[in-house]
Amino acid sequence: KFTPRVFSGIQPSGALHLGNYLGAIRRFAAMQDKGMETIYCMVDLHAITVWQDPADLAQSTRTLCAGYIAAGVDPEKSILINQSQVPEHAELAWVMSCVARMGWMKRMTQFKDKAGKNAEKASLGLFVYPALMAADILVYHATHVPVGEDQKQHVELTRDIAAKFNHDYGVDFFPLPDPVIEGTATRVMSLRDGSKKMSKSDPSDASRINLMDDADTIAQKIRKARTDFDALPSEAAGLEGRAEARNLVNIYAALSDRTLDETLGEVGGLQFSEFKPKLAELAVAQLAPISDEMRRLLADPAEIDRILAAGARRARDITGPILGRAYEIIGM
Ligand code: ADP
Ligand code: NA
């Protein structure tokens, strides 16, 4: 009943990193190239759940747009938008926050992680963020949502919200979207702490490889990445209990488009002093063309703004009718 349609988004709140690239953007480009209908978003309304400096937000949105394009998302093939320029996202979010239950929101682990100990001081927006994310997806009738593992719970919540809407109003209006979480890099970990994911919001810049880092910085961050002292194993089972080693091997595997076992077939037996320079060389070779292209695109911010304005027009041809029909179903 529903045509396959892909939606995903990234927050314009700080530097794009290797986790965003391997876990998200690179896969966005791959789905586009398979000929699927794809819509990719800079989710600025999500970014402001935590205070953002206004000048930084505008610049981060352009940088993110440049990152998408540099990594292979083609604004002709995909619809590329900034969330706040497509007002139907926020309008449907209100409906979704009336459908979702408080208890469902309270179970979201990301709120607990992001709000920290002082949850009473977190913004209300940070708490209801998953209702906005549900609207982002459902306002396109999207069926597939490529994300990293950290977003799985939110996509499952989106399914619950869609199902409840359909049930409450006796319709089969919203599809139940599937999270698409595949490959060796669905959860790239911090270079400084193998128990935390690599994240934009980590205060330690050494914890992540930013897409815009230069070659020396990338090499230095990898050289200083935390590890144990054993040689790499030749089979995946040997990575058990070695979170940091597993993470670096996973990154190597993802960057070279191979499975973990194929990768260990090559690098098994190496010491970190031998493996890290190989990893750095591969990371630089893959990321340098992307950061060069990002810099080239960012030299013409007006062109990026034009791309986003055109994307918003195309998006609203889809979101306008879907929101209109949702309101009709509700009796508005
Ligand atoms: P961040 O957590 O760094 O602020 P976002 O929340 O904007 O990033 O996430 C954007 C996309 O990147 C999501 O699909 C998310 O699952 C993915 N992602 C973020 N961090 C990682 C990571 N460390 N490994 C794999 N995917 C990630
Ligand atoms: Na995230």
- The ipTM is 0.94
Q: Are residues 158 and 106 in the same domain?
A: yes
**CA 98 to each of CA 15, 101, 165, 326: distance values in angstroms, whole numbers, following the listed order:** 34, 8, 10, 13
pLDDT in tens, 191-232: 999 999 999 889 999 999 999 999 999 999 999 999 999 999
Q: Is residue 150 part of a domain?
A: yes
Which entry of 117, 164, 197, 224 is annotated as an active-site residue?
197
Q: Is 200 a catalytic residue?
A: yes
Same domain, 145 and 10: yes
Q: How confident is the model at residue 114 (pLDDT cuts 50, 70, 90)?
A: confident
Q: Do 304 and 284 have their domain in common?
A: no
Angle (CA) 167 140 60, round 5°:
130
Catalytic residue among 114, 152, 196, 278: 114
State percent of the chain over pLDDT 90. 92
CA angle 157, 82, 66 (to 5 degrees): 115
Residue that has been written with the tokens 């009718």 in this structure: 321
How far apart are alpha carbons 241 and 20 in whole angstroms?
Answer: 25
Q: Is 197 annotated as a binding residue?
A: yes
Q: Mind listing the pLDDT tens digit for each residue in 45-90?
A: 999 999 999 999 999 999 999 999 999 999 999 999 999 999 999 9
pLDDT above 70 as % of the chain: 100
CA 22 – CA 240 distance, rounded (Å): 22
In this prediction, residue 1 has a pLDDT band, given cuts at 50, 70 and 90, of: confident
3-class secondary-structure state, position 189: strand
The residue assigned the tokens 């973990």 is 260
Residue 327 confidence class, pLDDT cut points 50, 70, 90? very high
- For residue 185, the model assigns a pLDDT of 87
Looking at the structure, tell me whether residues 85 and 166 fall in a common domain.
yes
39 and 102 both lie in a single domain: yes
Q: Taking each helix axis from N to C terminus, what angle separates 301-330 and 54-70, rounded to the nearest 10 degrees? A: 100
Residue 187 falls within a domain, yes or no?
A: no
Q: Distance (Å, rounded) from C-alpha 61 to C-alpha 41?
A: 10
Taking residues 298-325, what's their average pLDDT?
Answer: 98
70 located within any domain: yes
Give the C-alpha separation, 143 to 308, whole Å. Answer: 23
Q: Mean pLDDT in the chain?
A: 96
Query: Does 212 belong to an annotated binding site?
Result: no
CA within 13 Å, CB half, 100: 29
14 and 130 inside one domain: yes
Task: Report, as an integer, the average pLDDT of 264-289.
Answer: 97
Q: What is the domain count for the chain?
A: 2
- Catalytic annotation on 114? yes
Q: pLDDT value at position 146?
A: 95
Are 262 and 210 part of one and the same domain? Answer: yes
Give the residue, by CA position, lying nearest to ligand 1 atom 14: 147
Indicate the pLDDT class of residue 318, thresholds 50, 70 and 90.
very high
Q: Are residues 13 and 98 in the same domain?
A: yes
Residues contacting ligand 1 via CB (< 6 Å): 10-11, 19-20, 23-24, 147-148, 150-151, 185-188, 197-201
Determine, yes or no, domain membership for 109: yes
By DSSP bridging, strand 144-146 and strand 79-82 are unpaired
Looking at residue 227, which CATH number applies to its domain? Answer: 1.10.240.10
pLDDT surpasses 90 at 162: yes
197 catalytic? Reply is yes
CA atoms within 13 A on the CB side of 142: 31
Q: Looking at the structure, tell me whether residues 88 and 160 fall in a common domain.
A: yes
* Amino acid letter for position 293: E
Give domain status of residue 195, yes or no. no
SS3 of 231, please?
A: coil
Q: Is 113's pLDDT higher than 90?
A: no
Q: Is residue 156 part of a domain?
A: yes
Say yes or no: 157 and 10 in one domain: yes
Ligand 1 atom nearest to 199, measured from its CA: 3
Q: Is 33 part of a structural domain of the chain?
A: yes
> Mean pLDDT over residues 252-256, rounded?
96
Maximum alpha-carbon separation in the chain: 66
pTM above 0.80, yes or no: yes
Q: How confident is the model at residue 35 (pLDDT cuts 50, 70, 90)?
A: confident
Q: Which pLDDT does position 112 carry in this prediction? A: 87
* Contact criterion met (CB below 8 Å) for 318 and 140: yes
Q: What is the CATH number of the domain that holds 41?
A: 3.40.50.620
- Which domain does 41 fall in, by range? 5-180+300-330
Amino acid 116: pLDDT: 85
Asked whether residue 37 carries a pLDDT value surpassing 90, the answer given is yes
Amino acid at position 71, single letter: A
Is residue 29 located within the same domain as residue 120?
yes
Tell me how far apart the alpha carbons of residues 232 and 185 are, in angstroms, rounded to a whole number.
18
Note whether residue 188 is domain-resident. Answer: no
Q: How confident is the model at residue 25 (pLDDT cuts 50, 70, 90)?
A: very high
Please give the single-letter amino acid code of residue 221: K
How many Cα atoms occupy the beta-carbon half-sphere of 225 within 13 Å? 29
pLDDT (average), residues 274-289: 98
| Residue 273, C-beta contacts closer than 8 angstroms, at least 6 positions apart | none
Q: Given this model, what pLDDT does residue 14 score?
A: 84
- Pair (239, 136) in one structural domain: no
